Amino acid sequence: MPNAPLPVSRSFTSADGAPFPPGAVWLPEEQAFNFSLFSRNATAITLLLYRADDLFTPCLRLPLRLPHNKTGDMWHARVPAGQAGDACYYGYSVAGPHRPEEGLLFDAEKLLLDPYARGVFFPPDFDRAAACRPGPTAGRAPLGVLPDRTGASPPAIQRPRRHDHDLIIYELHVRAFTRHPSSGMAKAQRGSYAALTARIPYLKALGITAVELMPIFQRDPVYGTFWGYMPLNFFSPHAGYASDGAVDTAWREFRAMVAALHEAEIEVFLDVVYNHTAEDHPGGPVWSYRGIDNPSYYSSTPGTPFRPTNRSGGGNDLDVAAPVVRQLILSSAWFWIAEMGIDGLRFDLASMFSVDESGRVNLAEPPIITELSTASQRWQTRLIAEPWVGDGSLMQLGRAFPGRSWRQWNAHFRDDIRRFLRGDDGCVPVLMTRLYGSTDLFPDDRAHAARPYQSVNYIASHDGLTLRDLFSFDNPGQIAANCGHQGTEGTPEQVLALRRRQTRNAFCLLMLANGTPMFQAGDEFGHSRGGDPNPYDRDDETNWLDWRLTENESALLRFVRMLIAFRTAHPSIARSVGWRDDVSWHGVDGGDPDLRPVSRSLALFLRGATMEDDDLYVFINGWDDTLHFALPEAARGGAPWRSLIDTAAAPPADILAAETAPPVGDMARLPAQARSIRVLLRGRHDTITE
């Protein structure tokens, strides 16, 4: 078909298009689309529009002509509605030198997706293999969805209140959460945004105040990771999580889900992947960035531009120090916050942001970290870092991470709590540090002024064994011990009892620690993945939550629900600063704690008066025998102590509400059974007994 003529207009931008914003934008006042695409090294670019009834032949082929349609490195065009006709999808043909030894991979026959597309359509004949070899991909490549021409604005975003001491983060996978038939959802709805919305009453009853969704960026619908860590586009909710798989439905259901979570006073965080894309290893598909301008988007090994770096483990690290990539990340982050209502972002492999354009680690102030930190203050958004790199070459946990105010996944908390629960030597001193708020990592001195809540405390997440598997399988790399029987089949009752007790212990330590607690969906009712620590590609019952466990493990679920309520009711646990003089540490005899390597026990006395809260006394027994703890002199006398939590007691005595918990009798020595934790409470309003 002939090339379309350029529109004639007195206005520069009406005739030539505008270089900003990037992407495709509908302009209702002009009844026209503006298109803008970055490419520094391209020699020619053609915009292609497609109707729904013909995905092979474009209904409009518009070459972007020099000098009118290029400003700097931005190629742009303005297309009136009449010229676009009834087109609903778009893509680009990008020409330029094909010199792989220089990292230049241009191929004008490839149909390419706009990195800023606000929706991605996969044609029925979508073919990944075609994108991996030379030759045309029309009709087989993903297309951008043109913006809605009605100009209708999305509903206004009503934010939930910002949680502080009661912030409980619940990590979940949208599809895995309700995909299992036991979820109670209709078959068509299982694994969708809508099904998660329907499960909000469960989250509310559990006490969750923030959900952290594993990646929901649009990805390859056929190949890749079930967990979602191979994104194709940074501006589109994954259509596979819509109840009918349609792009429009994904947008509608995602926004409705966020609005419903907000109405339930639950914040929404996204796990975002900005360090690599689905155009994975060298020789992988050419769908978007690689064909638009490979050396501008991806980093390469110094001196060998044909060899992409692979710190992320995805095979193609984005050059996060490059201005075009920084702009892409900031634009995407702002889109999810401002247009989709997200309250926080958790950055996968955030230490990748510390790598500069030369490939060296810049520990000072990487530009993207600085820009995100500044923007988050304006956006009033929480930023959470996974402060390391996938290949293990860069660990920046704590003060080493350049984002001074960011929250961080605390892998030291995870590992140290696991070691203590396993019974390793030398864990008592570090257990004290982790419970206090990990001030070794987040110092609260004048120079650093870090806050305990910056430590996102967790014991298990998607990455590794589930909490149930942590006590069901021997796995040294996961710091896991099986409690005397390998696996979940044919487990003796006494082993099951110990596993449940250890699970309660883990949740107890998590909820008693200063900081921000996080746990993964299903751990509250004993979900197992069969001992697999990395089922990233399993779209089956390995990852799907079996909701029948909420009945089979109802006692554990009740314990976790009441434990969360206990933490929420006592703001003296999660403070904005360390416990300081309000805490004292003790041994079994009520004196100083035993810090020897062989020690397995600890007690703490947390006074609540400065927070207008109750006093707490906690016994932690990591031995295989019962210990009898004595209260220190400072904790004796006054109002009666009540025993609220005993992880060794049979349910429902394992956790009690304060108003039903009986006073403790003889205070001389209180028993804590083997591998157990007890929590006593002295109410600030209780009557003092004579």
Strand ranges in 521-612 using DSSP code E only, listed in sequence order: 583-586, 601-606
**212: helix, coil or strand?**
strand
How many residues make up the chain in this entry?
690
Write the CB contacts of 457 (distance below 8 Å, at least 6 apart in sequence): 410, 413, 434, 438, 510, 513, 515, 516, 517, 518
In terms of Cβ atoms closer than 10 Å to its own Cβ (0-12, 13-18, 19+), residue 170 is buried
C-alpha to C-alpha distances, 272 to 83, 214, 285, 300, nearest whole angstrom: 37, 8, 21, 22
Q: Could you give the residue ranges of the DSSP H alpha helices within 517-640?
A: 549-552, 554-569
348 given a catalytic annotation = yes
Q: Which amino acid is at 372?
A: L
What's the CA gap between 677 and 644, in Å, rounded?
11
Q: How many CB atoms lie within 10 A of CB 658?
A: 14
671 φ/ψ angles, rounded to the nearest 5 degrees: -80, 145
In terms of Cβ atoms closer than 10 Å to its own Cβ (0-12, 13-18, 19+), residue 487 is middle
Of 220, 271, 386, 646, which is the active-site residue? 386
386 given a catalytic annotation = yes
Do 437 and 430 meet the contact criterion of CB atoms below 8 Å apart? Answer: no
**629: helix, coil or strand?**
strand
**104: helix, coil or strand?**
strand
Do 273 and 279 meet the contact criterion of CB atoms below 8 Å apart? Answer: no
Do 616 and 514 meet the contact criterion of CB atoms below 8 Å apart? Answer: no
Find residue 61's DSSP bridge partners: 48
What's the CA gap between 135 and 121, in Å, rounded?
21
Do 574 and 163 meet the contact criterion of CB atoms below 8 Å apart? Answer: no
What's the CA gap between 355 and 309, in Å, rounded?
11
C-alpha to C-alpha distances, 663 to 40, 567, 615, 637, nearest whole angstrom: 74, 20, 14, 13
What's the CA gap between 623 and 672, in Å, rounded?
10
Of 107, 114, 212, 348, which is the active-site residue? 348
Find residue 213's DSSP bridge partners: 172, 270
Q: Could you give the residue ranges of the DSSP H alpha helices within 575-635?
A: none
What's the CA gap between 13 and 92, in Å, rounded?
20
Nearest to 352 by CA among 325, 380, 379, 381: 325
Place of tokens 């554990």: 556
Find residue 339's DSSP bridge partners: none
As annotated, the active-site residues are: 348, 386
